[in-house]
């Protein structure tokens, strides 16, 4: 039997929609139900408390401190990752001996397991046995060893650097894909007209790369916001809660304070925020460039 033309697309995407609903909507629904109860630990039952957990969370200063810290974390990572990826992508888009090897090796930092990344950087930044502090001392940039994880501001900045180093190769590959789609004829014509490297970048590269950067902004924000493993393995939210973002707060509330329902409430609020951001950003990206 031949399906009508307007039904055929739904027949193809139907299985994918059912799979996504089972993998995403069902856990989310369970989290919402859990947030409306008073469950304290895994495997126990609780009473129905309605919106009491949300009221407790929204009136808790720890939640707002972690939310603000998560916002700073996302912005700092977005800026640093974009700068590193843009420089790397522009370099890898040039023609030089070994460019193919460089494009392949750039992904190593991304595919290395997180635990290995943490072990490497913890050793590099260690005050006893690491190599970063001796290099800084020998170069005269500092007169004493720096505790990269000892103070709140330094620990936060160090985590931003490590996480950006971890993820910028992925963004580099996406930017490189966008750069390769820009016709070379535009650069040749601009060179003939006397445009220098900076003008070619601002008038050709940046405008034509903007759609790719917009998509990466959405993806990078969602990925950075949900980072937990690097933060927990390196600082566990310390020192003095200086790196306790919302994912860390959710873990501590659920598995250290034994307040599963409150942790679910925080998770639901974070999910609503991220879904709202993704929806607004997607609608903005779908608009014509002149209407943005």
Residue 176: left (phi > 0), alpha (psi -120 to 50), or beta? alpha
Q: What percent of the chain has pLDDT over 90?
A: 33
Q: Does 1 have pLDDT greater than 70? A: no
Cα–Cα distances in angstroms (integers) from residue 21 to residues 29, 103, 127, 158, 230, in the given order: 10, 36, 48, 38, 29
Phi-psi region of 98 (alpha: psi -120 to 50; beta: other; left: phi over 0): left
In the predicted model, what is the mean pLDDT of residues 163-171? 89
Q: How do residues 60-79 score in pLDDT, each as one tens digit? A: 999 999 999 999 999 999 88
What is the number of other CB atoms lying within 10 angstroms of the CB of residue 209?
20
| pLDDT score at 2 | 62
Residues, the chain? 292
Q: How would residue 10 be classed by pLDDT, with cut points 50, 70 and 90?
A: confident
Whole-angstrom distance between the N-terminal and C-terminal Cα of the chain?
46
- At 262-271, the pLDDT tens digits run 999 999 999 9
Q: Is the pLDDT of residue 288 over 80?
A: no
Query: What pTM, to 2 d.p., does this model score?
Result: 0.87
Query: Would you say 261 and 38 are in contact if contact means Cβ atoms under 8 Å apart?
Result: yes
Q: Per-residue pLDDT tens for 171-224? A: 888 888 888 888 888 888 888 878 788 888 888 888 888 888 888 888 888 888
């Amino acid at each position: 039997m031949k399906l009508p033309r307007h039904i055929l697309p739904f027949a193809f995407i139907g299985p994918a929609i059912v799979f996504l609903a089972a993998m995403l909507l069902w856990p989310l629904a369970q989290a919402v139900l859990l947030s409306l109860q008073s469950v304290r630990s895994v495997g126990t039952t609780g009473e129905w408390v309605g919106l009491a957990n949300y009221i407790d969370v929204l009136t808790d200063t720890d939640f707002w401190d972690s939310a603000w810290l998560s916002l700073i974390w996302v912005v700092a990572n977005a800026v640093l990752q974009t700068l590193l990826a843009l420089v790397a992508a522009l370099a890898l888009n040039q023609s030089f001996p070994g460019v193919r090897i460089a494009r392949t090796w750039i992904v190593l930092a991304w595919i290395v397991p997180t635990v290995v990344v943490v072990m490497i950087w913890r050793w590099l930044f260690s005050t006893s046995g690491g190599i970063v502090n001796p290099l800084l001392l020998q170069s005269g940039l500092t007169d004493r060893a720096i505790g990269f994880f000892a103070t709140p501001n330094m620990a936060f900045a160090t985590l931003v650097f490590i996480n950006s180093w971890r993820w910028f190769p992925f963004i580099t590959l996406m930017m490189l894909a966008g750069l390769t789609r820009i016709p070379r004829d535009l650069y040749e014509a601009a060179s003939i007209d006397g445009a220098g490297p900076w003008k070619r970048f601002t008038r050709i590269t940046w405008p034509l790369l903007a759609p790719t950067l917009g998509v990466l902004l959405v993806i990078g924000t969602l990925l950075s916001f949900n980072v937990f493993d690097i933060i927990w393995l390196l600082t566990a939210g310390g020192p003095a809660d200086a790196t306790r973002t919302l994912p860390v707060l959710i873990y501590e509330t659920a598995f250290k304070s034994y307040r599963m329902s409150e942790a679910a409430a925080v998770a639901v609020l974070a999910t609503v925020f991220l879904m709202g951001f993704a929806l607004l950003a997607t609608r903005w990206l779908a608009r014509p460039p002149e209407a943005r």
